[in-house]
Amino acid sequence: MTPFRAGLLALLLTLLLDQASKLGLYFGTDLVLSQPWRFGPFADFVVVWNRGVSYGLFQQEGGFGRWLLVALSLAAALGLGLWMRRATSRLLGVALGLIVGGALGNAIDRAAYGAVFDFVHLHAGGWSWYVFNVADAAIVAGVIGLILDSLFPAGRHQRDPAPGDPAPRL
């Protein structure tokens, strides 16, 4: 499987899992009325509408901010998608696919509802992590993949030089 196809598969699976989990929990359960759902001493499902970006920064109440964030998400997805098209390793392709799928999943929420539906809350003792969703987790995993790809480039394949390319310098 080419790096691009692996990335495209990661993108589609991320988008599908993200939207299915959000729609299933919000419309298919009574989570809104019966929250929080406890999954042990460290995890809950809750309903949080995030009108900002990561960690709830830059909260947007008006329509302009909402659509600006949608446009930025789509622009980032387009740019990363073009990079994914040129990926030379499967790790890079999958990492970019995870980020693009997550960005599109959250952009769909923001366009449809004016905010992103977050529902996973991790905590332990007095420590509490922010509330997130499948798209957010995919974006974080994708960024980790980008870092790993940059640290361990040995698995990359070099492209064959095109006719007329200058000889590489040693």
Cβ contacts of 84 within 8 Å, gap of 6 or more? 3, 4, 7, 8, 11, 92, 93, 96, 97, 100
Pick the catalytic residue: 30, 136, 149, 165? 136
Pick the catalytic residue: 118, 149, 160, 165? 118
Confirm whether 160 is a catalytic residue.
no
Q: 120 and 32 in contact (C-beta within 8 Å)?
A: no
| Coil/strand/helix, residue 115 | coil
Tokens 């070099």, residue? 158
Q: 31 and 118 in contact (C-beta within 8 Å)?
A: no
Confirm whether 44 is a catalytic residue.
no
Tokens at 29, concatenated: 């359960």
Q: Report the catalytic residues.
A: 118, 136
